[in-house]
Amino acid sequence: LARCGDGIRRVDVAVGSPGYEECDDGNRSQTDDCLVTCESAGCGDGHVWLGEERCDDGNDNEEDACLEGCIPARCGDGIQRRDLRPGDAGFEACDDG
């Protein structure tokens, strides 16, 4: 019986239908280009795609450790992190860029 994770991408199921697979690489890795849910990996899915993304927190919050575009926040990027408190490593009182 065909299933997600068997290494064979189903082409007999329409997009959006139960059982549809964007990809199926047959492994349990969440860090390659095909997730275990048989969906293609991409920025914003909450899984770091090794070699492509440096972070991926699965949200579009521009005030935390991982910016939109899966780019790690850093001092001087013009975006003040609001996920840290004074005394926490990486805390920024301001960030003018």
Q: What is the full DSSP assignment across 41-59?
A: --TTSSS--TTT-S---SS
pTM over 0.75: no
Q: How confident is the model over 45-65, as pLDDT tens digits?
A: 999 998 899 999 999 999 999
- The confidence score (pLDDT) of residue 97 equals 78
Domains of the chain, by residue range, sit at 1-41, 43-97
pLDDT surpasses 90 at 21 = yes
Dist. CA 34–CA 13, nearest whole Å: 18
Instruction: Read off the pLDDT band of 78 (50, 70, 90).
Output: very high
